[in-house]
């Protein structure tokens, strides 16, 4: 691995570890930092499929939202603790992804993207309509995240927003480390092979559909953890967390930051979340400005903001 990649890793780690302390200096606040990390995890999870397998999903919000609803419902209806609630959300989303993935992996390119939207919207309407269970359009309220009990100590993520940030960061770190490990493994290389040349991959003996399914499920698993954290952060979840425009936002984050670079989607998410926060406090039409930035980035950095680095790192 090149020194460039190492330096980038180190820079990202230091920036993330210190973020709550300099966020205020650049006009942010701790909750915004937490949101950056969560959306970063979502975008990096999507990128496991998009950047490292070469398959575009426009339906990842469905699994993000399922993770969120799963965690929220586990707390509201069963009084589960924070960690089991996250696991419940992840399990629900992963099972859904496994079933839906099996139905759609034969589609390719834009057709795959279309069916991911279609299946994603099924969950949106389910959450939107099923008032009694999901709270419908108003969202699921009447629950709160719980302090995390380690037996010997308690982590108060309820009122202490620094504690919440570092809890979220710890979950992020574990997820990202596992993804990095997978990408650098024989399994990860076989996925990149599919991205690079499906025909060659098939004639090396790879069962392409099964691998795309696996990559889809892994990617959805991690995005669902981001979704669960998102629900915990807000003490709230509503159907917009499942809607296709959020899926589109994940894609924008990944492409803007650079989908061929490991940290690219995190940078994309940071820019997206910061812009959204800043611009939406001034105008309702914040999406216009995000779109403008997106167009400029794609025009001048076709490989994404970190894409240039990634290319040199790979050589």
Partner 1 sequence: MSLLRVKEATKRFGNLLAIDDVSLSVEPGELRAIIGPNGAGKTTFFNLISGLFAPTAGAITFAERDVTALLPEQRVRLGMARTFQITEIFPELTVEDNLRVAVELAAGHGLSPWLGRAAARGINARLEELLATGNLTSKRNHRVGALSHGDQRAAEIMMALALKPRLLLLDEPTAGMGDQETYDVARLVKRLHRNAGLTILLIEHDMRLVFNLADRIMVLAEGRVLAEGTPQEIAANENVQRAYLGEAAK
Interacting residue with partner 1 among 182, 275, 279, 308 (CB under 8 A): 182
**Between 206 and 298, whose beta carbon lies closer to partner 1?**
206
CB of residue 4 vs partner 1: minimum separation in angstroms? 15
CB of residue 315 vs partner 1: minimum separation in angstroms? 7
Helices (H) and strands (E) in the chain, counts: 14, 2
Residues 44-83 that bind partner 1 (CB under 8 A): none
Give yes or no for a contact between 123 and 66, defined as CB atoms under 8 angstroms apart: yes
Give the integer Cα–Cα distance in Å for 126 and 122.
6
Q: Compute how many residues bind partner 1; rule: CB under 8 A.
A: 23
258's CB contacts (< 8 A; 6+ apart) are 264, 265, 267, 268, 301, 303, 304, 305, 306, 307, 309, 310
DSSP codes joined into one string, 267-312: HHHHHHHHHHHHHHTT-TTHHHHHHHHHHHHHHH-TT-TTHHHHHH
Cα-Cα-Cα-Cα torsion 73, 77, 81, 87, nearest 10 degrees, comes to: -40
Indicate the SS3 state at residue 149: strand
Q: Which of 160, 129, 128, 121 is nearest to 247 (CA)?
A: 121
**Between 6 and 181, whose beta carbon lies closer to partner 1?**
181
**Between 83 and 208, whose beta carbon lies closer to partner 1?**
208
Taking CB under 8 A as the binding criterion, the range among 5-13, 124-132, 179-187, 268-276 that sits at the site for partner 1 is: 179-187
Give the integer Cα–Cα distance in Å for 157 and 147.
5
Residues 128-167 that bind partner 1 (CB under 8 A): none
Phi, psi at residue 260, to the nearest 5°? -95, 0
CB of residue 311 vs partner 1: minimum separation in angstroms? 9
Using alpha carbons only, what angle is made at residue 54 by residues 305 and 216, rounded to the nearest 5 degrees?
Answer: 110
**Between 161 and 209, whose beta carbon lies closer to partner 1?**
209
**Between 237 and 254, whose beta carbon lies closer to partner 1?**
254
Interaction mask 185-224, partner 1, x per CB under 8 A: xxx-xx-xx--xx-xxxxxxxxxx----------------
CB of residue 182 vs partner 1: minimum separation in angstroms? 6
CB of residue 94 vs partner 1: minimum separation in angstroms? 17
CB of residue 201 vs partner 1: minimum separation in angstroms? 8
CB of residue 60 vs partner 1: minimum separation in angstroms? 22
**Between 107 and 202, whose beta carbon lies closer to partner 1?**
202
**Between 87 and 208, whose beta carbon lies closer to partner 1?**
208
Give yes or no for a contact between 310 and 9, defined as CB atoms under 8 angstroms apart: no
CB of residue 107 vs partner 1: minimum separation in angstroms? 18
Per-residue DSSP letter, 118: H
Give yes or no for a contact between 32 and 274, defined as CB atoms under 8 angstroms apart: yes
Point out which residues bind partner 1 (CB under 8 A): 181-182, 185-187, 189-190, 192-193, 196-197, 199-208, 314-315
């Amino acid at each position: 691995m090149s020194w460039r990649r190492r330096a980038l890793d180190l820079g990202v780690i230091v920036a993330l570890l210190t973020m709550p302390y300099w966020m205020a200096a650049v006009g942010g606040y701790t909750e915004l930092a937490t949101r950056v990390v969560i959306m970063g995890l979502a975008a990096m999870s999507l990128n496991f499929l998009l950047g490292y397998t070469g398959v575009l999903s426009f339906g990842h919000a469905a699994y993000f939202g399922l993770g969120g609803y799963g965690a929220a419902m586990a707390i509201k209806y069963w009084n589960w603790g924070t960690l089991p609630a996250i696991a419940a959300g992840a399990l629900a989303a992963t099972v859904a992804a496994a079933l839906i993935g099996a139905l759609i992996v034969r589609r390719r390119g834009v057709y795959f993207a279309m069916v991911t939207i279609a299946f994603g919207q099924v969950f949106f309407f389910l959450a939107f309509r099923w008032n009694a269970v999901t709270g419908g359009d108003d969202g699921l309220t009447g629950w709160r995240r719980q302090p995390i009990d380690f037996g010997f100590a308690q982590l108060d993520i309820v009122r202490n927003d620094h504690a919440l940030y570092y809890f979220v960061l710890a979950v992020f770190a574990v997820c990202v480390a596992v993804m990095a490990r997978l990408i650098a493994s024989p399994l990860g290389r076989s996925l990149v092979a599919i991205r690079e040349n499906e025909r060659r991959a098939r004639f090396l003996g790879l069962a392409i559909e099964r691998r795309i399914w696996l990559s889809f499920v892994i990617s959805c698993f991690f995005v669902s953890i981001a979704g669960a954290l998102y629900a915990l952060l807000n003490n709230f979840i509503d159907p917009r967390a499942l809607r296709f425009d959020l899926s589109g936002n994940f894609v924008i984050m990944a492409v803007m930051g650079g989908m061929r670079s490991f940290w690219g989607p995190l940078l994309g998410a940071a820019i997206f979340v910061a812009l959204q926060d800043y611009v939406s406090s001034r105008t309702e039409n914040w999406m216009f400005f995000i779109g403008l930035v997106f167009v400029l980035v794609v025009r001048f950095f076709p490989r994404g903001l970190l894409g240039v680095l990634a290319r040199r790192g790979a050589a």
